Amino acid sequence: MTRKSGILADRAIKALFAEGQLKSQDILDSDQIQPASLDLRLGSKAIRVRASFMPGPGCTVAEKLERLTLHEIDLENGAVLETGCVYIVPLMESLELPEDISASANPKSSTGRLDIFTRVMVDRAQEFDKVPAGYKGPLYLEISPRTFPIIVRRGSRLSQIRFRVGHALLSEAQLLDLHSAETLVASDVPNVSGGGIALSIDLTGSSPDGLIGYRGKHHTSVIDVDRKAAHDILDFWEPIYNRGSRELILDPDEFYILVSNEAVHVPPLYAAEMTPYDPLVGEFRVHYAGFFDPGFGHAGAGGAGSRAVLEVRSHEVPFILEHGQIIGRLVYEDMQEKPEGLYGTGLGSNYQAQGLKLSKHFRAG
C-alpha cells in the first residue's frame, strides 16, 4: 500500500507503537506524543566521551563508544552534566521503521532555551538528527551543555523526533498561496526564498520597560531539566533593554534569548521547522530547537500572536544585529492528517501565545 506523503500526526505515531515499529523500554508518558512528534526519553546511563563523533557507514554507535568512553554516569537517581563536556545517552525508545518512513530529530524548545546542545544519532549514520527510511535499531542522544550545568535523570526529555512519508516540503509557490490564505507570519510582504519564509529580529521590545532579550550568565548553579518554575531569572540571566539604538552587538560565544519581530502561525494541517543556520546571513547560529507543531500560533488553539523565541549564539567574531534583520527561515510541510490534539489545546504546551519568554524552568517576576 502506498501511503500519503506527509508528517505523521499523533494518531499515526500511536499506531507505530501498536505495530511494533516504535518501541520503548517503559510505558509512554501521558504527554509524550505531541501533535506531530514524539518526545524521546533518556535511558539509565550517560557515557562521557572524549569528543563528539559520527558513527559512519558500517559502524554502530556502541562500537565507537568502546574506544571513546571516558566513564559512565548512572542516571537512575539524577546526575549533573557539566558544561563543555560531551555525553552520549542511549534513549529508551528504539525503531523498526518500515521502508517508506524516515525521521528527523530536534531539541525540544526548553532544551534550546537552556543552551543544551543535543543531537540524535543512529547506527551507521552519516548525519546527525536524521534517521533513514527503514532504520532498525537503537537511538542515542549526544548532549553537551553550553552555558549552564544541568541535572538529568532516566526519563528526562530533551529531544523530539518527527516521522515522515515521502516528500512533504512545500514549494515556494505553495508557501505563498498558504500565506495568502492563512497568514503564516505577520508580514504584509512576506520574504519567501530558499524554500522558506523569512523571520526577522525584534530589537525594540514590546514591554513597557523595553526588554528585548536575555544573555546567559556564567558560573551559575545547576538547572534541573525536569523542574518547572524552580529558578530565579536573575540568577541565570542578564536582561537586555532597548536603549534607542535598535541594534545589539553579539559577543563571541555568548548565549542570547531574543524574539522574532513577526508572529508565527502554523495551521492545523501543516508542521513547520526553523531552517539550519546559514553562514550567508552572518556569523551566528539561531534556534537550536526548530520544530513548530500544528496549531502553534493558531487562533483556534489559543495562540493568536505567538512569536518565535530565538536562541542565538555568535561565532568567531562580534556581530551586530539590527532591528528587522532577517535571522532565519521557516519551512512548512504537509501533515498526513489533522492531529487529534493541536499545540496549545490541553497538551501542556508551555509556549503558546508567547512573546519573549525564557524556558519553563524559571519563575516569572
Q: What is the CATH number of the domain that holds 77?
A: 2.70.40.10
Q: What is the mean pLDDT of residues 291-307?
A: 73
* Whether residues 85 and 146 fall in one domain: yes
Residue 63 near residue 99, CB atoms below 8 Å: no
Last residue of a domain, one of 143, 165, 187: 165
Q: What is the model's pLDDT at position 305?
A: 61
Of 148, 165, 182, which residue sits at a domain end? 165
How many Cβ atoms are within 10 Å of 218's Cβ, its own excluded?
A: 10
Percent of the chain with pLDDT over 70: 91
pLDDT at residue number 302: 46
Residue 65 belongs to what H/E stretch? helix 61-68
pTM score, whole prediction: 0.92
1: in domain: no
Q: Is 303's pLDDT higher than 50? A: no
Domain boundary among 138, 165, 192: 165
Same domain membership, residue 190 and residue 137 = no
What ranges make up the beta strands (E) of 166-246? 192-193, 196-200, 211-216, 223-224, 231-232, 237-241
The answer to the question of residue 66 being in a domain is yes
Amino acid letter for position 285: R
Q: Taking a C-beta distance cutoff of 8 angstroms, is the pair 130, 294 a contact?
A: no
Per-residue model confidence as pLDDT tens digits over 169-225: 999 999 999 998 998 988 777 888 878 898 889 999 877 788 999 999 999 999 999
Question: 181 and 152, same structural domain?
Answer: no
**Same domain membership, residue 161 and residue 238:** no
User: 285 and 211, same structural domain?
Assistant: yes
Which range of 69-78, 183-192, 276-285 scores highest in mean pLDDT? It is 69-78
User: How far apart (Å, rounded) are the C-alpha atoms in residues 91 and 192?
Assistant: 37
The residue among 137 and 185 whose pLDDT is bigger is: 137
Stretch 283-294: mean pLDDT, rounded?
75
Residues 6+ apart with CB under 8 A from 358: 113, 214, 233, 237, 257
Residues of the chain with pLDDT > 90, as a percent, come to 70
Q: What angle do CA 288, 290, 292 make, to 5 degrees?
A: 145
User: How many structural domains does the chain have?
Assistant: 2
86 falls within a domain: yes
pLDDT at 153 over 70: yes
Cα–Cα distance between 54 and 60 in angstroms, integer?
Answer: 10
Domain of residue 230: give its range. Answer: 172-363
- 236 and 279 in a single domain? The answer is yes
Helix (H) or strand (E) holding 175: helix 172-182
Q: What is the pLDDT of residue 92?
A: 98
How does pLDDT run across 22-37, given as a tens digit for each residue? 999 999 999 999 999 9
Check residues 280 and 213 and name the one with the higher pLDDT. Answer: 213
Do 274 and 326 share a domain, yes or no? yes
When pLDDT is averaged across residues 106-110 and rounded to a whole number, the result is 92
pLDDT per residue as tens digits for the range 223-259: 999 999 999 999 999 999 998 889 999 998 899 999 9
314 pLDDT above the threshold of 50? yes
User: What is residue 1's predicted lDDT score, i.e. its pLDDT?
Assistant: 56
What's the pLDDT band for 7 if we cut at 50, 70, 90?
Answer: very high
